[in-house]
Amino acid sequence: CSQNTNRTCEECLKNVSCLWCNTNKACLDYPVTRILPPSSLCTLSSARWGVCWGLFKEENPYARFENN
């Protein structure tokens, strides 16, 4: 996945095993042993996997997924 760092979210997520972090424009290997990526890897509000347009709302205790 790292070869797509500093490109675009769309380029990164062409590989389904990748995670895009908006904060630092990094394309990372998705941590498959976890349901959600750990904040040490990328904050949930900046993390994208599967699609680039979503926004994960951390402040909601039930953590809803919204379009942005």
Residue 23 has φ and ψ, to the nearest 5°, of -55, -50
Please tell me the pTM assigned to this model.
0.74
Cite the DSSP H helix spans in 4-60: 9-12
Q: Does residue 54 have a pLDDT over 80?
A: no
Q: How far apart are CA 30 and CA 33, in angstroms?
A: 9
Q: Which of 23, 25, 32 is nearest to 10 (CA)?
A: 25
Q: Does residue 57 have a pLDDT over 80?
A: no
Longest C-alpha distance within the chain, in Å? Answer: 35
Of 2-6, 13-17, 41-45, 54-58, which range is least confident? Answer: 54-58
